[in-house]
Amino acid sequence: MTDLFAARGQGLLQRVTLAPAFHARLDSARRLIDALDFEVELFTKLASGRLRGHPGYTAIQTISGVGPVLAAVFVAEIGEVSRFRRAAQLASWAGLTPKHHESDTTVHRGAITKQGRRLVRWAAVEAIQRTDKHGRLGQVRDRIGARRGTNIGKVAAARELVELIHYGLRDGEIRCLNHRSA
């Protein structure tokens, strides 16, 4: 059986012969799953109702790799985007900018700071991994990844993605994507 939550799987769980203690535990787990499914469905309807009219939510879904769930994560975690005057400030807040140590004439740049919102960083990298290789962000990921390593390419493209998200949430559209598709 590949899916115990489908109708055939549930029938199999009903017919299986188990000791009474194990059968009681199985019934308890199924009741818990039903209750959690109800809560997830209720929250999904609530969130989709609130985001339906949000212009930034629909705008950032035009970015390759960003679907309804990741768009909801970005909207919820970033909040009021007008507090960031520039897109680079949002990228820094998300922890996607490199460390910078400078003393006199010596400059050292390191890995990303990771001092921002972990969920925004995760969602950005997740979206980049699902983006089309022929698109703008996929080309950035592959070009930098070939030169400096796959993970560094993903993070660099994730920073650009967060900058595009800034424009999408601020303006309700992403003009550079609309211009290229026209």
One domain, residues 104 and 36: no
One domain, residues 125 and 164: yes
Residue 1 pLDDT > 80: no
One domain, residues 88 and 153: yes
Residues of the chain with pLDDT > 70, as a percent, come to: 97
One domain, residues 164 and 92: yes
User: So what's the pLDDT on residue 122?
Assistant: 95
Among 39-43, 114-118, 163-167, 170-174, name the one with the lowest average pLDDT: 114-118
Whether 1 maps to a domain, the answer reads no
One domain, residues 72 and 162: yes
One domain, residues 118 and 165: yes
One domain, residues 80 and 156: yes
One domain, residues 67 and 157: yes
Whether 142 maps to a domain, the answer reads yes
> What span, in angstroms and rounded, lies between the C-alpha atoms of 135 and 182?
14
One domain, residues 22 and 108: no
Q: Which of 39, 41, 85, 87 is nearest to 60 (CA)?
A: 87
Whether 2 maps to a domain, the answer reads no
One domain, residues 79 and 161: yes
DSSP string over 7-56: HHHHHHHHH----HHHHHHHHHHHHHHHHHHHHHHHHHHHHHHHHTT-HH
DSSP letter at 114 equals -
One domain, residues 37 and 90: no
CB atoms within 10 A of CB 31: 10
Whether 81 maps to a domain, the answer reads yes
Q: What share of the chain is helix, strand, coil (3-state, %, to 5)?
A: 65, 5, 25
Pairing of strands 98-103, 106-112: antiparallel
* Residue range 61-82, pLDDT digits in tens: 999 999 998 999 999 999 999 9
One domain, residues 27 and 60: no
Q: Considering the chain, what is the average pLDDT of its residues?
A: 89
**Domain range holding 93?**
55-181
Total count of domains within the chain = 2
Whether 141 maps to a domain, the answer reads yes
Which secondary-structure segment (H or E) carries 4? none
Q: Which of 51, 65, 69, 64 is nearest to 169 (CA)?
A: 51
Whether 75 maps to a domain, the answer reads yes
User: So what's the pLDDT on residue 52?
Assistant: 86
Q: Which of 127, 17, 118, 116 is nearest to 70 (CA)?
A: 127
* Residue range 21-61, pLDDT digits in tens: 998 998 899 899 989 999 999 988 888 888 988 999 999 99
Residue 182 pLDDT > 60: no
Question: Given pLDDT bands bounded at 50, 70 and 90, which one contains residue 113?
Answer: confident
> What span, in angstroms and rounded, lies between the C-alpha atoms of 182 and 179?
5
DSSP letter at 109 equals E
